[in-house]
Homo-oligomer: A and B are copies of this chain.
């Protein structure tokens, strides 16, 4: 099934016919409502134990969700009276949240900082490796999807801009962009906006990777733009000091990577453990919420375990996964090591 093939159309929801409205251009009127179709196996997630997730969305955003669990259809309607400071954008946010159900596994909390923190995070950066381009990106994402579902670890893939639509449309795994520009939609040829990566199915983006550094002003603008669209920021930094600085900007995740170790196979968690512990220390003084990842040279299950033992919540890796002979085996061992280490 190609999710992109799903057309705007009139459908039957629990006996009533509605026109599905898509896109962001509609003006919210009192009678506005969205119908989203989500995979059937996600319905249980949305309902959650005791309808907890559903209720959380309804209460926080002042909406009402009606779920057709046979068809996997969800109707989202406004209930302004149930939320203070209600804003029409809430309706869009709720629709988005519903459609983001694919991001986490049954029984898990909703995709939010709290939920991300409940399980280790492994972000796989595909870079522009030839093996990870086009069809290659798709294959590598599918392996990651399988391990994610088997091991229940928060595995995400960060793919090239040209591959976001292809991967996000075919694989049930959160897809991150590798970069966005600090630009609003407009007259900016050759740039990549937060709106564009969202429109193609990404749930967030790396920001300021060492191979794509941004100015401090642009980092601030990118994180703000991503937040505005309910997309995740994974801010990359190089030292404990710049990590502390980055933490003040409140990204959802922060990955510290000494650039001199990237791609070396020498893990920062072994070569420079003090960089990791110092980062955790300085960042926690400023921001207790941000998920801290450890990158650069991560190439084995041991490296992942060590990173988590030093106080982080997971890892960011690239070549070790993309170039592995047995990607499934490697990622499975990493996921298991991450869970073990996080339980200690």
Q: Which residue numbers of A lie inside 8 Å of B, CB to CB?
A: 2, 4-5, 22-23, 125, 127-130, 133-135, 158, 160-166, 177-179, 183, 185-193, 195-197, 199-200, 206, 208-220, 224, 237-239, 241-242, 244-250, 259, 262-263, 282, 286, 318-319
How far apart are the CA atoms of A224 and B259 in the complex, in Å? 17
Beta-carbon nearest neighbor of A167 in chain B: B165
Known contacts A241-B220, A248-B248; decide if A189 and B162 are in contact (CB<8 Å).
Answer: no
Q: Is the CB of B166 within 8 A of A135?
A: no
Q: Which of A183, A190, A193, A209 has the most CB of B within 10 A?
A: A190
Once A22-B135, A166-B200 are accepted as A-B contacts, the answer to whether A211 and B188 lie under 8 Å apart by CB is: yes
Q: Are B125 and A189 in contact (CB under 8 A)?
A: yes
A281 to B162, CA, bound (A): 38
Cα–Cα, bound, A259→B217 (Å): 10
Q: Is the CB of A208 within 8 A of B216?
A: yes
Please give, as numbers and ranges, the residues of chain B lying within 8 Å of A242 by CB-CB distance: 216-217, 219-220, 249
Residue in B closest to A235 when the chains form the complex, CB atoms: B216
Closest Cβ of chain B: how far from A255's Cβ, in Å? 11
In the complex formed, the residue of B with least CB distance to A242 is B220
- Chain B residues near A211: list those with CB within 8 A: 187-191
With contacts A206-B190, A216-B242, A220-B241 taken as known, whether A134 is within 8 angstroms of B199 at the C-beta atoms is yes
Residue contact B187 to A262, C-beta cutoff 8 Å = yes
- List of B residues within 8 angstroms of A185 by Cβ: 128-130, 133
- On whether A215 and B208 interact (CB within 8 A), knowing A133-B199, A190-B178, the answer reads yes
Per the bound structure, the CA–CA distance linking A259 and B237 in Å amounts to 25
Query: Which 9 A-B pairs rank lowest in CB-CB distance, beginning with the nearest?
Result: A179-B190, A134-B199, A190-B212, A213-B215, A161-B161, A130-B185, A245-B245, A178-B190, A244-B248
Q: Are A200 and B248 in contact (CB under 8 A)?
A: no
Task: Report A283 CB to chain B, min CB distance, Å.
Answer: 9
- Contact: B128 with A196, CB < 8 Å? yes
Residues of B within 8 A of A130 (CB): 185-186, 195
* CB of A38 to closest CB in B, whole Å: 19
In the bound complex, residues from chain B placing their C-beta under 8 Å from that of A212 are 189-191
Point out which of A206, A210, A216, A237 has the most chain B C-beta atoms below 10 A from its C-beta: A216
Q: Is the CB of B160 within 8 A of A192?
A: yes
